[in-house]
Structure formats: structure tokens, C-alpha cells
Amino acid sequence: MSHAIKTAEADDEVLYAVSEGIATITLNRPARMNTISRDMLNQLTDRLLQAENDKAVRCVVLTGTGRAFCAGLDLTEVTGAKREGGISDASNNAVTLDLKHTPPTVLYNMNTPTVCALNGSAAGYGMDTALGCDIRIMAAGAKMAAAFTKRGIVPESGGTWFLPRLIGWAKAAELIFTGRTLKADECLAMGLTNHVVPDAELAGAAQALAREIADNAPLAVQAAKRMMRIGMDETFGDHVHHVFLQLLPLLKSADAREGMLSFMEKRAPKFEGR
């Protein structure tokens, strides 16, 4: 069954805006540090799919409002925690989620490049969501908190898959088993983020990087992302074969012709995505 995308509203907890081929998706629940409620899960999925299905969108920037990027799942709404007194059994709530249409799965399957601009701390689910993006830029004051084992759970939204691939088994094991919180410079040194910039420069740096991506041929960028994703589970020989099959239609595209002509004519290319 297909997932029906709902139209964005002005008061949504996940904001959506498109400008010059860049879709900016913003977690907008600052009073609760952008913790993810059940409604936000659905809204974030909708906005990611909206960007993926829009041929005019060439790159996605995911960020947050306020002092946190995302402090994790809202335990009072998603896992069944009571607002006053005790915690109820979360198992019945957890099994009702449609995992095919949750943000981590949608993020992984997207062909549109994604840049996460961490305006503040990313904890638990927020950290996994950031890791699910292709590229991460952190404000100097931001942190990543792999606090799962401190809460009696595991990285439930991709962390156990992403972290060993991003930083190696030993470093991932230390981070997950200890539930440690890392400052931005520690994330940079470990390879969890591409760049760290002053807090006030984060939005501009993320948009500049997204613009650099969006200026390239979108069909080629998306094909490259698909090949990188597929290649993680292939032998080299199989991968070379699949890359060749991707290359053949690209060579016939108007964008490939434009790329070659612009190079020969020493001018900036104008790609149209066809």
C-alpha cells in the first residue's frame, strides 16, 4: 500500500520550504527540544517523500529550530510514558509503527542527496536520523548523544547499522556500549560529521553545500547515490557491472551533453535533469 503524502500546513511541527532546487525540512517543536511525537514521525516522512518526488528538488537540508536538533523520541507520546507517574507498557505502541514509512527507512531509500544541519544536540532517535543523512554539518555548540544503553534500549533507528560503517567496529562499539555524549569537535575527529562551523554560520554553510550539490547534474548525482548504496552489499565485480548499466542511459541524457559542451566551451553548465 502506498503512503499518502499530506500537504504541509503553516503550524506543522515539521516545516517545509523549497528555494532554487533546495528543500529545507525543519523540525519545529523547540519547546520540547524537537523530540519526535507520533504526528512528527508521519509529518517528517511526508516531507521527505515530498522532496524525493519533486523533480525540481535537487538536495534536501534537514535541520531544527531552537537549541536542539532533536532530543530523541517523545517518550510521553511514542513509547507510552505517562505524563504523571510511572511508565506504561510501551510494547503495544511500538508494534503499531509502519517501519516501511518511518523516517530512517525513507531517508535510506531516497535518491535525493540529504544534508543534516545540526543546529544543536542530537540524542537517541535524533542522532540516528542525523546519521541517516548523506552529509552532516554541525554547529560548534552541537553534540551527539548515543544514550540508548543508558535508557535500556538499543539504537532503534539505524545506529547499529550506520555507526560500524561510518567509524569502524571498535569505535562504534565503544560509543554504543558506553552511551557517551560527544561534542562537535569530537564528532569531527571521529568521522561522524563532515564539518563543524560557528553556530551563527550553520544555516549558510548548509545551504552553500546544498547549492554546490544542486548545481550538478541531478540524474548523475542521484545515480551516484544509488550506486554507493547498492555497492555496500555487492562484490566489486557485480558493482562494476551495475555502474556500467547506470552509465549507459546517463550518456544519452541532455545533461551529459550539456556537461561535456560546457566543459569544452569553458562555461558553467546549466543542467535540467533530463
Look at residue 85 in the predicted model and tell me its pLDDT: 47
- Are residues 152 and 222 both part of a single domain? no
- Are residues 39 and 25 both part of a single domain? yes
Structural domain includes residue 234 = yes
- Are residues 225 and 148 both part of a single domain? no
Structural domain includes residue 6 = no
- Are residues 209 and 190 both part of a single domain? yes
Overall size of the chain counted in residues: 274
- Are residues 253 and 162 both part of a single domain? no
Structural domain includes residue 38 = yes
| Domain, as residue range, for 94 | 14-214
Look at residue 13 in the predicted model and tell me its pLDDT: 93
Q: Give the pLDDT of the chain (274 residues) as one tens digit per residue.
A: 345 565 555 568 999 999 999 999 999 999 999 999 888 999 999 999 999 999 999 999 999 999 999 998 886 754 454 444 444 454 444 445 566 678 888 999 999 999 999 999 999 899 999 999 999 999 999 999 988 877 777 777 888 899 999 999 999 999 999 989 999 999 999 999 999 999 999 999 999 999 999 999 999 999 999 999 988 888 999 988 888 888 888 888 888 888 888 888 888 888 888 8
- Are residues 102 and 153 both part of a single domain? yes
- Are residues 62 and 169 both part of a single domain? yes
- Which of these three, 214, 230, 253, is where a domain ends? 214
- Which of these three, 196, 214, 232, is where a domain ends? 214
Structural domain includes residue 18 = yes
Structural domain includes residue 272 = no
Structural domain includes residue 3 = no
Here the cell at position 37 is 511525537
Structural domain includes residue 178 = yes
Amino acid occupying residue 60: V
Domain count, the chain: 2
Cα–Cα distances in angstroms (integers) from residue 161 to residues 68, 131, 168, 178, 261, in the given order: 24, 10, 11, 17, 41
- Are residues 204 and 223 both part of a single domain? no
Look at residue 152 in the predicted model and tell me its pLDDT: 74
- Are residues 113 and 204 both part of a single domain? yes
- Are residues 142 and 102 both part of a single domain? yes
- Are residues 185 and 258 both part of a single domain? no
Angle between helices 254-264 and 236-251 (to 10 degrees): 80
Contact predicate 145/181, CB 8 Å: yes
Paired sense of beta strands 68-70 and 59-64, if any: unpaired
Contact predicate 213/112, CB 8 Å: no
- Are residues 198 and 240 both part of a single domain? no
Structural domain includes residue 274 = no
- CATH number of the domain encompassing residue 91: 3.90.226.10
